[in-house]
Structure 1
Amino acid sequence: MFARYLRRELSGRRKQTAIIATAMALAIGLVIIVNSLSAGVRNAQAGALESVYGVGTDVTVTATPSPPAEGERGPRFEFGAGDGSDTGDGTTAVSQSRLATGRGSATFDAAAVGTVTAQDGVEAASGVLSLTNMTFDGELPQAGGTAGTGTAASGAEEGQAASSRAGGSFDVNSFTVMGVDGNAGSVGPLASATLQDGRTLQASDAGTYTAVLDSAYATTEELAVGDAITIADQEFEVAGIVAGSGSDAETASNAYIPLDVAQELSGSAGLVSTVYVRAASSDRISTLKDVLEAALPENTVNTQEDLASSVSGSLSTASGLVSSLGTWLSAAVLAVAFLLAILLTISGVSRRTREFGTLKAIGWRNGSIVRQVAGESLVQSLIGGAAGLLVGLAGILLVNAFSPTLTASARAQAAGPAGGPGGLAQRAGAAADVVLHAPLTPAVMLIAVGAAVAGGLLAGVLGGWRAARLRPAAALRSVA
């Protein structure tokens, strides 16, 4: 009886059913698409961070960043009277390579690695030293005693200015170098890299002039396994080539060398710039951050959530757009769909005064009336929910078919305050092109269908309650 009457009423009110189902379908479809895009952006953001900070890196410890001291200058190249060789044409050929921390970057005592490892909840920790290798290579003029009495060059612009005055010619090239310890293979930026050729650095490489190169840098410089690369005027043998974890992504540094060697060559003995930490349990990361802040009060401790704010580029823009506009738009459309279903259901009840009054006159109880109206509204919403699933799936497939590419750079624009990500991000500047993939999330689809059911029941209960308040006399007066 109930099913037959329900089918007859729905077929007789096709326009109302189509409007409610369409509104629900659009709302549910939009919710599914936005949530899928949000998940895709989160995955892309995690991938961008992973290529820079490393697989399994939950917490990082850095020195609290501070502005450069007054009068502090960048790396300088000093040439004495006996340096270089006479070219015979009035110039002296010189070449010098320096390895140093970047201007304004901060280092701290490497003993912090042991302090971190000793804390409860730490599974692994790795210390690294982020450096820049600058090479001055060219010819300096001898006129006026420039080369004979000693010269100093600081940066390409200063040197080029001198060159234009005296006719010299030289190049100043630089690339990033990261000193890594024996745990680099399990936690830290090198842990996220994929070995393409040769081997990665091992604990036994400590004290040796062995280097592993980023694949993009190796390709640009035409270097391969077994070749030599000059770092701080020392030749390093290329033992391996690695690539970033993301599509076309670079690693966190152009070259990786043993930490002790990096400290010696850069004059940073016993110092590191970052400690990468993997927590023993993912649900204790927040607690671990508090523990490390208490153990290392002079340092800055960041979690992956903190570091996510350092991701810039179009990925950051997409993340902000999805998390703010997309979420609120979905909520607004869903609320409008619910309101429309309620209004149409109540309006339909008002037009069925004679019908419901007559049903009550022949013995229908209030519960039967409410059940009937709620059943009709529920079916309409379920139809809309099913259509919404199709709309959501079509939208996700469309996004994945186009596979938009977003640019992500895990580099802060300036050094951040204590507790912020700037201290780390200023040294981790690898950029990556991340392909946005919107995943299919069954849980979100179930929630969306549940929302459609909830909306239908809400509209049906309100409409049924209104219908149940009708009296049989109202129907008799309507007939008369």
Structure 2
Amino acid sequence: MFGIYLKRELGRRKKAALVIALGLALGIALVITVNSVSAGMTQAQDKVLKSLYGLGTDMTVTKARSAPTGNSSGRPNFEFDAKANDSDEEQSSDRVMTQGGQALKAALVAEVAEQDGVANAVGAITLNVTKVNGSFTQGKAQSTTGNSQSQGQGGPGGGSGGNSTAAPQVQGGGASFDVNSYSVAGVDVTDQTLGPLAGMEITSGKTFTAAQTDAKVAVLSKSYAKENKYKVGKTLKISGTKYTVIGIATASSSESTTDVYLPLKQAQTLADAKNQVTTIYVKATDSKQIDTVKSTIQKNISGTTVTTSADLADTVSGSLSTASDLATSVGKWLSIAVLAAAFLVAALLTSSAVSRRVREFGTLKALGWPSRRVTRQVVGESMVNGLLGGALGIGLGLAAAYAVTAISPKLTAQLGNAGGGGGMGGGPGGGGPGQQSTQNTMEIALSAPVSPTTIALAVGLAVTGGLIAGAMGGWRASRMRPADALRSVS
């Protein structure tokens, strides 16, 4: 009886049911869209962070770089010979500098690994190589000679005329130099599960073997190899040392911030930093205890800076950060406002529909229907409207999320770090001597993944909306008396 009556009444009031369902659908669709975009923002931010400190890394240990002492500015300097016999001969000079904070003793890696809550620790060194190459061209001194006729008395020599020689002038010459800067990471080849190379996927060639701890081999990022036309088997020269390219790697999550990867000992040799690292990558035994592990390391190993991924996330700026703020703040409150309005409209429309059914409900009560049965009937109709609105809302929300993913709007993510600071990973954004601040800029394609949790939330909202509308309408219907039906008869 309940189902038959429910079906008949909804069929009679299709327009009203559709309006209520559409109101709920718009609110639910907005909630799904905002939640999906927020999830996409989180994924995009994770891609930025993982590309900087590698997959599986929970925190890094660095040390802030101290200010230069004495007359040293800490800036790179280059010296070239410009002798006569070197004219037009190409000259080249590489300046290798550690980057991402003050160097730490390699022995600290083992000390960090022994701390409570630490599952693994790996050391790495980050370098910046500035290559300057070009040539000097020697100028030639030329003098001009010409006739001059004196008018009256001549010059100091007393002649009335003759030849005069002008002072020689240097013509031509100069210098033409090209400057190329790139980043180098020294990797502990015995454990590549953590560190700069952990987030990279070898697409050509192979990665380092555990035996290549001091081998003159290199792995290049795909973008750097393509730009400089390097292939597997080619030779890369850094500061006079030749390295054989054994592999080309691509970042598994986003763009790589490192151009060249070398065995740790080779990188230390280039930077004249034997038994030193700039960053210690740490993996915790329990991801929920990261803050506790951070406090333990800072307490037991003084003078170091421990940076977690949460700390690093606070430094991400650019359009990614702006869009994330909008999605999490403005989008959240807008969703709540629209959803509340949709619930209110559904409740008012249901209550209004009940008011127009005075004769119907009064007659049913006169026939013996108790108030709870009338209330149940109204709530049942509202629940169907709510579920219909939920289905429409899920469809609209999925369509909106799919549209965002299909368009894939590009967002920029900038991770800045003050010079001398120990940023996560100590990568190119870590700042070097003489730099006030540097930034890594990445371009991320935004997606809007819809999780089962979001769908479950939408269903819950649909049921809630139906219950709210049904409760208000049912309360109104339960207060009607059979006499109300008689008064409504004209």
User: Aligned ranges for residues 38-117 of structure 1 at < 5 Å?
Assistant: 38-64=38-64, 72-79=73-80, 86-87=84-85, 89=87, 93-102=90-99, 105-117=101-113
Closer, same or farther: CA 319–87 of 1 in aligned 2, 3 Å: farther
SS in 1 for 2:197: helix
Is the 1:211–1:239 Cα contact (8 Å) retained in structure 2? yes
SS in 2 for 1:21: helix
Residue matched to 1:449: 459
Shift of 1:165: 11
SS in 2 for 1:277: strand
Q: Which moved more, 1:187-196 or 1:291-300?
A: 291-300
CA distance in 1, matches of 2:86, 2:262: 38
Tell me if 1:185 matches 2:185.
no
Is the 2:237–2:243 Cα contact (8 Å) retained in structure 1? yes
AA matched with 2:62: T
Of 223, 226, 232, 1:219 maps to 226
Larger radius of gyration: 2
CA distance in 2, matches of 1:223, 1:84: 31
Tell me if 1:123 matches 2:119.
yes
Shift of 1:193: 0.7
Tell me if 1:336 matches 2:332.
no
C-alpha RMSD of matched pairs (Å): 3.0
Tell me if 1:320 matches 2:325.
yes
Q: TM-score, normalised by structure 2?
A: 0.83
Shift of 1:282: 2.6
CA distance in 1, matches of 2:208, 2:18: 65
Is the 1:98–1:233 Cα contact (8 Å) retained in structure 2? no
CA distance in 1, matches of 2:386, 2:424: 46
Q: Which moved more, 1:420-429 or 1:209-218?
A: 420-429
Shift of 1:375: 0.8
Q: Which moved more, 1:448-457 or 1:188-197?
A: 188-197
AA matched with 2:304: N
Of 304, 311, 316, 1:311 maps to 316
Of 271, 277, 293, 2:298 maps to 293
Closer, same or farther: CA 6–309 of 1 in aligned 2, 3 Å: same
Residue matched to 1:276: 281
Structure with the larger helix share: 1
CA distance in 1, matches of 2:250, 2:40: 22
CA distance in 1, matches of 2:328, 2:190: 36
Closer, same or farther: CA 297–328 of 1 in aligned 2, 3 Å: farther
User: Aligned ranges for residues 340-351 of structure 1 at < 5 Å?
Assistant: 340-351=345-356
Shift of 1:65: 5.8
CA distance in 2, matches of 1:6, 1:415: 70
Shift of 1:8: 2.5
Q: Which moved more, 1:165-174 or 1:452-461?
A: 165-174
CA distance in 1, matches of 2:402, 2:301: 48
CA distance in 2, matches of 1:128, 1:397: 41
Residue matched to 1:207: 214
CA distance in 2, matches of 1:186, 1:303: 18
Shift of 1:447: 1.4
Shift of 1:460: 0.7
CA deviation string 1:373-417 (max 9, x = no partner): 1111111111111111211222223223323333444x2154597
Tell me if 1:460 matches 2:470.
yes
CA distance in 2, matches of 1:131, 1:300: 19
CA distance in 2, matches of 1:462, 1:399: 37
CA deviation string 1:218-259 (max 9, x = no partner): 12112222222122222222222211114xx44231111122
Residue matched to 2:168: none
Residue matched to 1:436: 446
CA distance in 1, matches of 2:220, 2:83: 31
CA distance in 2, matches of 1:191, 1:165: 52
AA matched with 1:462: M
Is the 1:84–1:93 Cα contact (8 Å) retained in structure 2? no
SS in 1 for 2:416: coil
Closer, same or farther: CA 397–172 of 1 in aligned 2, 3 Å: closer
Shift of 1:431: 4.7
Is the 1:377–1:460 Cα contact (8 Å) retained in structure 2? yes
SS in 1 for 2:194: coil
Closer, same or farther: CA 191–62 of 1 in aligned 2, 3 Å: same
Tell me if 1:412 matches 2:416.
yes
Shift of 1:32: 1.6
Is the 2:362–2:480 Cα contact (8 Å) retained in structure 1? yes
Is the 2:52–2:427 Cα contact (8 Å) retained in structure 1? no
Residue matched to 1:258: 263
AA matched with 1:97: D
AA matched with 1:362: L
AA matched with 1:357: G
Is the 1:408–1:434 Cα contact (8 Å) retained in structure 2? yes
SS in 2 for 1:392: helix
Tell me if 1:396 matches 2:401.
yes
SS in 2 for 1:191: coil
SS in 2 for 1:60: strand
CA distance in 1, matches of 2:55, 2:194: 6
SS in 1 for 2:198: helix
**Identity in percent:** 46
Q: Which moved more, 1:367-376 or 1:396-405?
A: 396-405
CA distance in 2, matches of 1:68, 1:245: 38
CA distance in 2, matches of 1:296, 1:424: 22
CA distance in 2, matches of 1:214, 1:166: 39
CA deviation string 1:84-131 (max 9, x = no partner): 775464x675322221124x8433333331122112332222211111
SS in 2 for 1:334: helix
Q: Which moved more, 1:184-193 or 1:321-330?
A: 321-330
Is the 1:177–1:253 Cα contact (8 Å) retained in structure 2? yes
AA matched with 2:269: E
